[in-house]
Amino acid sequence: MPAVLQAERLTKSFGGLIAVNEVDLLIEENHTTGIIGPNGSGKTTFFNLLSGFFPPTSGRILFYDQDVTQTPPNQRVLLGMSRTFQLVSVFNSMTVWENLVLPGVRFDREQTRPFRFLFNSAQNRRVRAHCAEVLKVIGLEKEALQPTATLSYGSKRMLEIGMALSLKPRLLLLDEPLAGLSDYEIAEVLQILHRIKEDLTLVIIEHKVSKILDLVDRLCVLNEGHLISDGEPARVLDDPAVRECYWGKEDIDQEDLTG
């Protein structure tokens, strides 16, 4: 399998605090990778480095063998990298359909010059067709013309995933997609992720470890900024270093690790 993303000795310091410490990680194409670890272990900071929201203190990032270490987030989107956030990020003042069309038009790879965004119609047939497909994937066809503000939190999460999919990514980074959801909503989101994992590469940060064990091909564990374990999920969860870093934590207990 070719490498989609490669982090080489990736490090991020905030003053005297080293949040990510010389992490090496290679993501293979069409694989689903879970990133877990206790609170404060550097997971979201690591995502912010991969997606370009933070510049690294040292190290580099390769995306399909292209060095993107200094590439801004919007350019990484055009290259095929997309992400979601811990807190749902949608436009509440727009309809569901408008939320999907806006990123599709803005980051249309055939309309990459900034001024073209101002004149590119949201009625573009190609963009509309793709957004219609995304609506089916996320199961919000009936809510297409509904104001986003009226959606449940779980539906907003599904819409956010749809917005990321409207960008036609090759790599999708998901930061705690199950956070704040009911058990029913978790099942709905997991169904979406199982649907899309066949067509693109997923990397998922998640605290609800037991919920993603059937989804991921691989688990990586961060602790205090270090990558302490990496491999097949069952083996990683049996790693003494992983069990030690979780025991005694209030947010995730031993039962959550073992499922």
- 187 shares a domain with 70: yes
- 182 shares a domain with 140: no
Its pTM stands at: 0.88
User: Looking at 140, 168, 196, which one is the last position of a domain?
Assistant: 168
The set of residues, in sequence order, having a beta carbon less than 8 Å from that of 35 and lying 6+ positions away, is 43, 46, 47, 203, 204, 205, 206, 219, 220, 221, 222
User: Looking at 118, 151, 168, which one is the last position of a domain?
Assistant: 168
Q: Which helix (H) or strand (E) holds 13?
A: strand 3-14
- 94 shares a domain with 75: no
> How many domains in the chain?
2
- 206 shares a domain with 184: yes
Would you say 259 and 208 are in contact if contact means Cβ atoms under 8 Å apart? no
Residue 206 identity: E
Chunk the chain into consecutive blocks of 10 residues (it has 259) and report each block's average pLDDT, rounded to whole numbers.
Answer: 90 94 95 94 96 96 96 94 92 94 69 50 71 94 96 96 94 96 96 94 95 96 96 94 75 49
pLDDT tens by residue, 132-176: 999 999 999 999 999 999 999 999 999 999 999 999 999 999 999
Residue 164 identity: A
Torsion of Cα atoms, 4 then 110 then 123 then 159, to 10°: 10
pLDDT tens by residue, 183-192: 999 999 999 9
Domain residue limits at 222: 1-80+170-259
Distances (CA, A) of 112 to 49, 51, 66, 107, 125: 23, 19, 19, 7, 17
